């Protein structure tokens, strides 16, 4: 019995040490810093809530947070609208396994490419000398290149959707692949239409994949700070950019730590809510 427990401890020690060292320790440092005061150019140890009070009372932080939530929500929604039909097509319409694997890898393969390169690609596409403007000018739709396609929230949503859509496709594909074909065939044998079968069987059973994909996509888009720099423009500032500026140019680490913890609480709340929703869905189906 003791040997078994010792073996368990030895197996759990590396991941536990990793979690403590690279998660709990940094978060603890952030928590401590968030109560300090800034007396430029130094940070004075203190226990006060001035940084959190500033976040709650200054409307600019609320605007940035709401903008970030809106952009992350739209990115997740558009990713879902694009990913679900694609995953459905792969699972139920593509019969040859080789073709299915090739189409699946076409979505996953971009993850092997640098994030910065993928984001910068859309800057070249949407720019005044990019592919979109060149096409519109060559077809006569525009008389001259337009700067309206770049440096706005729409460009950010397009870029982030392209970057993070694999994280929506993968869990939805996995959920759809687990659906027994016998259930769909039985529904057809009972006289249900394809659309009714989708609403009563396919969609409910794929909800765990939808929830997982939406959560991952939302959290990744919520914490992004590269796309706003490349394609966002003045109205594309997100909360991660504000945090980076506090730790960088502003040299206000206590306020940056408080903002980072607020962001962490929001993300944990979203993950908790999605977990509850997924469990509720499974209970209803059960």
| pLDDT tops 90 at residue 193 | no
Helix 153-164 to helix 207-222 angle (10° resolution) is: 130
Mean pLDDT, residues 41-68: 89
Task: Say which residue, 149 or 240, is predicted with more confidence.
Answer: 240
Mean pLDDT of 20-24: 87
Please indicate whether residue 212 or residue 140 has the higher confidence score (pLDDT).
Answer: 212
pTM for the structure as a whole: 0.89
Rg (CA), the chain: 24
Instruction: Assign 28 a pLDDT band (cuts: 50, 70, 90).
Output: very high
Q: Over 80: is that where the pLDDT of 35 sits? A: yes
> Is the pLDDT assigned to residue 1 strictly greater than 70?
no
286 has pLDDT over 80 = no
Tell whether the model's pLDDT for residue 8 goes beyond 70: yes
Mean of pLDDT values over 28-41:
86
Tokens of 274: 């999605």
Domain spans of the chain, in order of start: 53-285
**Phi and psi dihedrals of 43, rounded to 5?**
-115, 125
pLDDT class of 73 with cuts at 50, 70, 90 = very high
CATH of domain 53-285: 1.10.3720.10
pLDDT confidence bin for 37, thresholds 50/70/90: confident
**Each residue of 259-279: pLDDT tens digit?**
999 999 999 999 898 888 877
Per-residue pLDDT band for 285 (boundaries 50, 70, 90) equals: low
pLDDT the model gives residue 151: 87
pLDDT at residue 256, rounded to an integer: 93
């Amino acid at each position: 019995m003791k040997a078994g427990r010792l073996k368990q401890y030895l197996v759990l020690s590396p991941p536990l040490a990793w979690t403590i060292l690279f998660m709990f320790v940094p978060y603890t440092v952030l928590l401590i810093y968030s109560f300090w005061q800034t007396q430029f150019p130094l940070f004075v140890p203190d226990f006060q809530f001035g940084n959190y009070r500033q976040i709650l009372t200054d409307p600019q932080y609320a605007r940035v947070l709401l903008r970030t939530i809106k952009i992350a929500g739209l990115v997740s929604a558009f990713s879902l609208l694009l990913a679900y039909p694609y995953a459905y097509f792969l699972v139920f319409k593509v019969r040859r396994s080789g073709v299915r694997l090739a189409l699946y890898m076409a979505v996953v393969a971009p993850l092997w490419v640098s994030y910065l390169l993928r984001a910068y690609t859309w800057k070249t596409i949407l720019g005044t000398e990019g592919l979109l403007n060149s096409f519109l000018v060559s077809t006569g739709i525009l008389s001259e290149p337009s700067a309206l396609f770049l440096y706005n929230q729409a460009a950010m949503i397009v870029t982030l959707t392209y970057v993070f859509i694999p994280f929506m496709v993968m869990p939805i594909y996995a959920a759809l692949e687990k659906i027994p074909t016998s259930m769909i065939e039985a529904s057809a044998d009972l006289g249900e239409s394809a659309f009714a079968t989708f609403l009563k069987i396919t969609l409910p059973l794929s909800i765990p994949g939808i929830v997982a994909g939406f959560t991952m996509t939302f959290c990744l888009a919520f914490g992004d700070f590269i796309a706003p720099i490349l394609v966002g423009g003045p109205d594309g500032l997100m909360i991660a950019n504000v945090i980076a500026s506090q730790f960088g140019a502003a040299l206000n680490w206590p306020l940056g730590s408080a903002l980072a913890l607020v962001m962490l609480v929001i993300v944990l709340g979203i993950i908790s809510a999605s977990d509850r929703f997924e469990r509720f869905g499974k209970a209803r189906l059960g």
